């Protein structure tokens, strides 16, 4: 009888855990995986995939409006939130079933329930103790909610996909990618949207030019963005609406005296104030696993925790919270444990997108990051109205930006705000990862007429020197 029931037991059926389980099984390991909700994880069930479907839906109102400029006469359109959610649910159910089917096809034992770690080699699931040579924690993250009066009346990105009706007045609290994406979704679907963020500008951590450009475009569309603003409390009124206390004008404690407080009424308050690793109740600390201050599993480049038999990948490690990153980490860990050699996921150049309206695509260093790394940089920008916007009568403008090391002429970062930005940046990420120079970009023939061609026709530069 084997000392272990499985060579690998995976806790969490999201992208990282599923990829690790499938590859480990394909490498000949005995593998089991447990999921407490639905297979597919945050990305498939209540993240990237359903959110992108809602983004698509929200584009139609603008498309109908633009059509007249191209000679189309479009009858007055109506929108049904319940129909959209039902269609989304059907698609998500198909994808979740596909995840399970692929696991079973790889020979993985697929289990349902909330697994907890008892010790370095033991998990408990549905009252049963299971022994495993290796345990992989891939439980992802969960939305963060602050402690304030009435917070139980707010929703997060977990609940927003299943609202029975579309809220007509929405307050979105936060300034990150989830906040700006849902601001665009609800605005495009016809809701009145206010975004409140306590910081100085939305999308902290992104390039400053992109942050300002997106802010301006969102405001131009009619989304109210309130910076240096925070919620003081939420009260549910007799008619079901929410009265929200908003404090504005206090950028920090030193300027608290300048703050003003008012109340506004909304139909829904969506909190998008970040996510934290989902490790509560897993028993990791009791098993001796080191966690960071937010509960993230501390791991090395190979996904190993301080307990040799316990590993972690994806958002639960509190590093780069992107689905493709979790997938790479899961694959690398499986190969490390059961392949021919230890493998670390190469995450040196990770492209990312924000499906805001307009869209953001970015790869490499921001201007600030580049100046912290090299002494002098060349910055190339173009700010223009894309071809199709003219006939539509739209005001939306596109921004493209390259950041170049002045000394080596290597392109350190590429950033874009505009239609198809994510699709364009995906290809540019290959060039930047390979070490392309500005001359390489310049030598590439432009594909005309496109917005993407701007990246290979940029000529005017601004030089900045580290202070």
Identify whether 121 is a catalytic site residue.
no
List for the chain the helix, strand, coil content (%; round to 5).
35, 25, 40
CA contacts within 13 A on the Cβ side of 364: 28
CA contacts within 13 A on the Cβ side of 263: 10
Within a 10 A sphere around the Cβ of 372, how many other Cβ atoms?
10
Burial of 443 (0-12, 13-18, 19+ CB in 10 A): exposed
- List, in order, residues 6 or more apart from 375 with CB less than 8 Å away: 406, 407, 465, 466
Cα 151 to Cα 173: distance, rounded to the nearest angstrom: 12
Cα 323 to Cα 49: distance, rounded to the nearest angstrom: 11
- List, in order, residues 6 or more apart from 186 with CB less than 8 Å away: 58, 166, 167, 170, 172, 193
- C-beta separation of 260 from 249 below 8 A: yes
Dihedral over alpha carbons 427, 428, 434, 435 (to 10 degrees): 170
The catalytically annotated residue of 187, 215, 228, 448 is 448
- C-beta separation of 301 from 329 below 8 A: no
* Cα–Cα nearest to 221, from 189, 265, 175: 189
Task: List the catalytic residues.
Answer: 448
């Amino acid at each position: 009888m084997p000392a272990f029931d499985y060579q690998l037991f995976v806790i969490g059926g999201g992208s990282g855990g599923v990829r690790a389980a499938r590859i480990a099984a394909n490498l000949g390991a005995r593998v089991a995986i447990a999921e407490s909700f639905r297979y597919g994880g945050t990305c498939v069930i209540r993240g990237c995939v359903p959110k992108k479907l809602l983004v698509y839906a929200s584009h139609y109102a603008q498309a109908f409006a633009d059509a007249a400029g191209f000679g189309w006469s479009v009858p007055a359109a109506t929108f049904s939130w319940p129909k959209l959610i039902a269609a989304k649910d059907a698609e998500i159910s198909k994808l979740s079933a596909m995840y399970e089917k692929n696991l079973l096809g790889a020979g993985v034992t697929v289990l349902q329930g909330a697994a907890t770690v008892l010790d370095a080699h033991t998990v408990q699931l549905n009252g049963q103790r299971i022994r495993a040579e290796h345990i992989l924690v891939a439980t992802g993250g969960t939305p963060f909610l602050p402690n304030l009066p009435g917070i139980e009346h707010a929703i997060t990105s977990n609940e927003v996909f299943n609202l029975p009706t579309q809220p007509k007045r929405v307050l979105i609290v936060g300034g990150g990618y989830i906040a700006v994406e849902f601001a665009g979704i609800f605005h495009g679907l016809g809701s009145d949207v206010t975004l409140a963020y306590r910081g100085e500008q939305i999308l902290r951590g992104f390039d400053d030019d992109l942050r300002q450009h997106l802010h301006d475009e969102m405001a131009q569309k009619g989304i109210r963005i309130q910076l240096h603003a925070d919620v003081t409390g939420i009260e549910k009124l007799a008619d079901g609406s929410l009265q929200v206390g908003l404090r504005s004008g206090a950028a920090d404690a030193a300027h608290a005296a300048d703050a003003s407080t008012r109340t506004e009424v909304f139909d829904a308050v969506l909190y998008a104030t970040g996510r934290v690793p989902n490790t509560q109740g897993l028993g990791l600390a009791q098993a001796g696993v080191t966690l960071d201050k937010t509960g993230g599993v501390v791991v090395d480049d190979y996904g190993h925790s301080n307990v040799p038999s316990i590993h972690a990948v994806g958002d639960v490690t509190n590093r780069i919270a992107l689905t493709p990153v979790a997938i790479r980490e899961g694959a690398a860990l499986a190969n490390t444990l059961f392949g021919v050699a230890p493998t670390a996921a190469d995450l040196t150049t990770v492209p990312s997108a924000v499906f805001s309206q307009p869209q953001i695509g970015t790869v490499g260093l921001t201007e600030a990051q580049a100046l912290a790394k090299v002494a002098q940089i060349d910055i190339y920008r173009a700010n223009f109205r894309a071809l199709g916007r003219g006939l539509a009568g739209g005001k939306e403008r596109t921004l493209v930006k390259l950041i170049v090391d002045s000394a080596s002429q290597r392109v350190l970062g590429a950033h874009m705000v505009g239609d198809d930005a994510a699709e364009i940046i995906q290809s540019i990420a290959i060039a930047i990862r390979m070490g392309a120079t500005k001359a390489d970009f310049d030598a590439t023939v432009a594909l005309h007429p496109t917005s993407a061609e701007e990246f290979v026709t940029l000529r005017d530069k601004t030089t900045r020197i580290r202070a």
